[in-house]
Amino acid sequence: MRANKPKGLSINKGVEKPSSLNTDAIRKGIYKKAENLPLAKYMDGILKGDRMILGRAITLVESSLADQHEIAQRIIEKCLPYSGNSLRVGITGIPGVGKSTFIESFGLDLINKGKKIAVLAIDPSSDRSKGSILGDKTRMEKLALHEQAFIRPSPSAGTLGGVARKTRESILLCEAAGYDTIFIETVGVGQSETAVHSMVDLFLLLMLPGAGDEIQGIKRGIMELADLIVINKADDNRIEKVKLSQRDLLNALHLFPPTPSGWTPAVEYCSARNGSRLDLVWEQIRKYEDLIKKNNYFNIQRKDQAKYWFYETLNAELKRQFFEDNRIKKSLKKFEKQVLSSEISPFEAARQLLETNQKNTV
């Protein structure tokens, strides 16, 4: 069960309030260097589906230490030929919508159908106030204990881009370990949805009955990303409200332009707590998977996503190198102030700042 233990919690035992900057140093103290296995051991373990080894490999993926990162990259390269054979499902929804209950019930249901479930998260879990479900291990206990499931909390700190990258790499390892259905969880109130959307095959939005109220919490644009909307907490005593929400949402979706997949987004409802109608949710997912595999959108999207992450990583790194330069940092503030007070046009400010940079490097 060790691999399923949220790293954040075990770290917290030893030290009070770990700063986001030294978690790696702390981790280094806990997972001693002796624990680094030879590459072959990691590969053996992963391909055999050993969850403890998988968890340790993901710890390497998440590490920002150069030597651990190096091993992680070699593991990923070796896993690549065994990866790709899963359905990657993004799940989002505001806190309180019941994401953890849904993932647990739905996951257990799918395990009964013969699936192997991995659950990953994309919101840095240090950001607890936003309600990242996987930071809290006390939820999803049954699923966490099941040997056909692998649950991994989000890396405990980092930028969204960094965490997203680590999550995407972790997907590959989970696939190599035989997990055929991978849930990527995100909170649905922040910037993470585009990142999740760029690494999943299907994007599922969980909502509450009475759309229009709780929609307040969802960021604009997220609804248009959804392939499937599921109204959760559709208990018997509010079935009328649920059906009204379903109709409203279907009407709204009808007004959206068609998705590039050729799929018409569907609206289902269920009660994750009672386990009712989860089979209908699965049926929609299956229908969607069938369609995009038949019309080849599945492969097209996967390739587009790989390309997206390639360019996204390049761009992020170019920016990082530029903005972390000390002289740039200094001038940047001055120029930004001038731009905000309309003393200089944003374009001219950018030109002058870039000139500073070129003088630096010459």
Binding site for a second copy (CB under 8 A): 73, 76-77, 80-81, 83-84, 165, 168-169, 172, 211-212, 215-221, 223-224, 248-249, 251-252, 254-259, 303, 306-310, 313-315, 317-319, 322, 335-336, 339-340, 342-351, 353-354, 361
CB-nearer residue toward a second copy: 274 or 299: 299
Residue type for 242, please? V
Q: How far apart are CA 235 and CA 213, in angstroms?
A: 18
Q: How far is the CB of 308 from a second copy (least distance, A)?
A: 8
Residue 203 Cβ, how far from a second copy at the closest point, in Å? 12
In this complex, which beta carbon is closest to a second copy, that of residue 56 or of residue 168?
168
Of 144 and 207, which CB lies nearer to a second copy in the complex structure? 207
User: Distances in Å between the alpha carbon of 131 and those of 151, 186, 190?
Assistant: 17, 9, 11
Please state the closest distance from residue 314 (CB atom) to a second copy, in A.
5
Report the 3 state secondary structure along 282-342. Answer: HHHHHHHHHHHHHCCHHHHHHHHHHHHHHHHHHHHHHHHHHHCCHHHHHHHHHHHHHHHCC
User: Which is nearest to 139 in space by CA: 100, 181, 96, 95?
Assistant: 100
Q: Is 312 exposed, middle or buried (0-12, 13-18, 19+ CB in 10 A)?
A: middle
CB of 135 to a second copy, least distance (A): 24
Using the minimum distance from each CB to a second copy, give the nearer residue, 30 or 314: 314
At its nearest, how many Å lie between a second copy and the CB of residue 262?
13
Q: Provide the Cα torsion 90, 95, 97, 99; round to 10°.
A: 40
